[in-house]
Structure 1
Amino acid sequence: MTNPVLAFVFPGQGSQQIGMLAEAAEAFPEISATFSQASSVLGYDLWDLCQNGAQEDINLTERTQPLLLTASVALYRAWQAQGGVTPARMAGHSLGEWSALVCAGVLQFEDAVRLVRERGRLMQEAVPAGEGAMAAVIGLDDQAVEDACASAAEGGVVTAVNYNSPGQVVIAGGAAAVARAIDACKAAGAKRALPLPVSAPFHTELMRPAAEKLAPQIEATVFRAPEIPVIHNVHAKPEADPSAIKALMVEQIYSPVRWTACVQAMAEAGTAQLVECGPGKVLAGLAKRIDRSLTAHNIETPAQMSEAVKSTAQ
C-alpha cells in the first residue's frame, strides 16, 4: 500500500559513525543480510568495519559510499519487513541518490555497491589530497554565496555545491580559492563559514574527470524505470527513462546538489511526511528548515522504526 503524502529521503556522506545500526541489527535480520550481501561484493567484512573499525577508515570515500548505501538499503528492507507503507516519492542527498534508486527498483543492490565503490575511488583520485576543500556557509542567501565565490575564484575553482536549506550552503573547489571564498562570505555577513573535514571538492567541475571515467560503467549496468518516482539532485525533478537516469547520475558527480529544491518539489507534489532512511538525522533537520509543515521521522533504531511505521500507516 502506498501512502500518497509520504516520501523517503536517503543521506549522503557525513552520516557514517562507528557502531551505527548496532541496535537495529539485533532487531531486524535484514540488516545483517544486507551487509553480508555487500561484503561479498566488496571482498571485505563491511559490518565488522563499521562496528569495530576506526572512524578514519569509514571516512575514506571509497568505503563511506558503499557503507552508507548498504545502511540505507538495509533499513528500507527492514521497513518493508515491518509492514511499513510504500512512499509515494523518494530523494537522496548526493551519494544517497544511489540508495533511492536501489529502493525504487532502478538497479540491483549489488550493482550499486560496485558502482559507488568505484564512484568514491574516482572522486577521491580526481583531486590530490590537500588540493581541494569544502566549507559550510551559514546565514547567507544563495545569491550572496554565489557572488562571494565568483569574486574569490581569481582563476581558480570555487562554487556553491550543496544547497542544503535556506541559509545553509556548502561551497567547494581548490583549497586556496575556498579559503578566499570563506573570507568573502564572512565579509558579506555570513554567521559562520567553516572548512569541512573533507579532502575532495565534490560536485564541482574538478570532479568531471571522475564522472567521465565512471560513465562507461554506469552505461554498462542495467537500469529500469523506477517503481517509485525519485527526485534528482541535478534538476529537482523525477525521471522515468532509464537512459536519462544514467546521464543524470554521471552529471550529478560534478553538479550542485539542489537539496532545497528537491524537498520543495516533494512538498509541492503533496508530501507531508518524510522518513530519513539511513544513519543520523541531518536530512530530517534540513527538512524542517526548508518547509516547517513537513513531519520528519527517523528509523535508525527499533523504537524509531516502530513509531514511524505507526505514524505513516494509512
Structure 2
Amino acid sequence: MSEAHAHAFLFPGQGSQSVGMLQALAGTQPAIAETYAEASEVLGFDLAGLVRAGPKEELDRTENTQPALLAAAVAVWRAWQARSGARPLALAGHSLGEYSALVAAESISFADALRLVRLRGQLMQAAVPEGQGGMAAVIGLDDEAVARLCAEYPGHELLTPANYNSPGQVVVAGETPALDWLLANGKAKGARMVMRVGMSVPSHCALLKDAAAQLAEALAATAVQAPKIPVLHNLDAAPRQDPQEIRAALAAQLHQPVQWTRSIQALAGQGVGHWLECGPGKVLTGLVKRSVDGARLYALEDPAQFDAALQTLKGVN
C-alpha cells in the first residue's frame, strides 16, 4: 500500500449511540439491516427494533448500548467489505469499540462479542450504583496537569484520568462528590472547560476492578484467534497476536485508562493518512482532527463520506 493511501479504521465507543443510527446508510447498504437482525437473534431480543425506534432511555442503558454499538460498527464494516478490497493498515476501537475492532480482525466472532459486551455492560452498571459515580471531560489541560488536578481533590473519593482522548482533552472518572468538586473548581485551576459526559458508570478506573475480574472469567471461556489485521489496544496502544494476551488486555482495559491519544499518534507514525470512523457518529474523527495535522477524515455513517472513502481508496490492496 502506498503511504498516500495508508488508512486505519476506528470503531466508536459508548456515547455515539442514537435512536435511528445508521438509518441513512441502511438505505443503500443491505448489510446494516442484516447485521442488526443477526444480533437480535443472538441476543434473544429485538435489538434492531430498539435501535430503529427506541425508546432512547432503553437504548441508553449500558447493557443495551454496548451490543447496539457493536452491531452498528460491525454492520458498517461488513458494508465496507462488500464494496471494497482496500485493506487497512490497522484497526483501533475506543473502549467498547475495541471489541468491534477485534470482530473486524476476525479475532472474536460477532456472536461471542455480542454476548461479551452485553455482560460487560451489566457488570459495569452493577459495579457502581446509579448516581454514585460518572465521568467528566476536562478541556484545555495537558495529561499531566489533569492528573495533578485530580490529585488535588481533598476528599477520599476516587477521581482519576480515564480516557486520554486527544491533546487537551482528558475524560476523568470518579465518585459523585469528587466529580462535583471537579466541576466547581476545574476552571479556577486552569481548565478551559469541565463538563459531565453521558456516562452513569465511572469507566476505566479502579472502581471497576472487580467487574474486570468477572469479565476475565467470561473471556477465558471465549474463543480468541490471532487478529488478521493488527488491532491497537487501549491499554498501551500496542497490537497483540497471542489470544491469552488479548483476553488479558480486554479485561485490564475495563479498569485502566484508555490510551487513545497514544493510539492515534502510533498510527500516524506508521504513515496513516486516511481515517475511517466505522460506526455511528463523528466523535473519533473529531479527536483525530485535534491530534493529527492534515488528516483525511471519513465518518462512514454518512453515505456521501462512505462513497468518498470508497472512491479515494479504490483499488488499494
Same structural fold, with TM-score higher than 0.5 when normalized by the shorter chain: yes
Q: Deviations over 1:91-124 (max 9, x none)?
A: 0000000000000110100000000000001001
Matches within 5 A, 1:185-204: 185-204=186-205
Q: Deviations over 1:197-248 (max 9, x none)?
A: 3211011100111111111110110000010001110101111111100000
Tell me, in whole angstroms, the C-alpha distance in 1 between the residues paired with 2:114 and 2:125. 17
Tell me, in whole angstroms, the C-alpha distance in 1 between the residues paired with 2:250 and 2:198. 24
Matches within 5 A, 1:1-314: 5-152=6-153, 154-313=155-314, 314=316
Q: Is the 8 A contact 1:2 1:88 kept in 2?
A: no
Q: Is the 8 A contact 1:149 1:184 kept in 2?
A: no
Q: Is the 8 A contact 1:163 1:259 kept in 2?
A: yes
Change (3 A) 1:49 1:142: same
SS of structure 1 residue aligned to 2:18 = coil
SS of structure 1 residue aligned to 2:135 = strand
Alignment RMSD (CA, Å):
1.4
Partner amino acid for 1:24?
A: L
Q: Is the 8 A contact 2:232 2:239 kept in 1?
A: yes
Q: Is the 8 A contact 2:235 2:253 kept in 1?
A: yes
Partner amino acid for 1:93?
A: H
Q: Deviations over 1:237-277 (max 9, x none)?
A: 11111110000000000011111100000111121111000
Tell me, in whole angstroms, the C-alpha distance in 2 between the residues paired with 1:311 and 1:186. 43
Instruction: Give the superposition deviation at 1:2.
Output: 9.6
Q: Deviations over 1:138-189 (max 9, x none)?
A: 1111111111101116322110101111111110111111222333422221
SS of structure 1 residue aligned to 2:254 = helix
Q: Is the 8 A contact 1:278 1:300 kept in 2?
A: yes
Partner amino acid for 1:59?
A: D
Tell me, in whole angstroms, the C-alpha distance in 1 between the residues paired with 2:138 and 2:172. 7
SS of structure 1 residue aligned to 2:186 = helix
Tell me, in whole angstroms, the C-alpha distance in 1 between the residues paired with 2:176 and 2:85. 45
Q: Is the 8 A contact 1:152 1:184 kept in 2?
A: no
Mean CA deviation greater in 147-156 or 48-57: 147-156
Q: Is the 8 A contact 2:15 2:199 kept in 1?
A: no
Partner amino acid for 1:271?
A: V
**Unaligned ranges ≥5, structure 2:** none
Q: Is the 8 A contact 2:16 2:283 kept in 1?
A: yes
Tell me, in whole angstroms, the C-alpha distance in 2 between the residues paired with 1:176 and 1:9. 34
Q: Is the 8 A contact 2:235 2:256 kept in 1?
A: yes
Aligned residues: 314
Tell me, in whole angstroms, the C-alpha distance in 2 between the residues paired with 1:2 and 1:245. 29
SS of structure 1 residue aligned to 2:208 = helix
Instruction: Give the superposition deviation at 1:312.
Output: 2.0
Tell me, in whole angstroms, the C-alpha distance in 1 between the residues paired with 2:186 and 2:279. 32
Tell me, in whole angstroms, the C-alpha distance in 2 between the residues paired with 1:83 and 1:239. 26
Tell me, in whole angstroms, the C-alpha distance in 1 between the residues paired with 2:97 and 2:201. 17
Tell me, in whole angstroms, the C-alpha distance in 1 between the residues paired with 2:35 and 2:85. 18
Mean CA deviation greater in 298-307 or 166-175: 298-307
Partner amino acid for 1:172?
A: A
Partner amino acid for 2:115?
A: R
Partner amino acid for 2:235?
A: V
Identity across the alignment (%):
48
Instruction: Give the superposition deviation at 1:33.
Output: 1.1
TM-score when normalising by structure 1: 0.97
Tell me, in whole angstroms, the C-alpha distance in 2 between the residues paired with 1:84 and 1:137. 40
Instruction: Give the superposition deviation at 1:304.
Output: 2.1
Tell me, in whole angstroms, the C-alpha distance in 1 between the residues paired with 2:118 and 2:30. 24
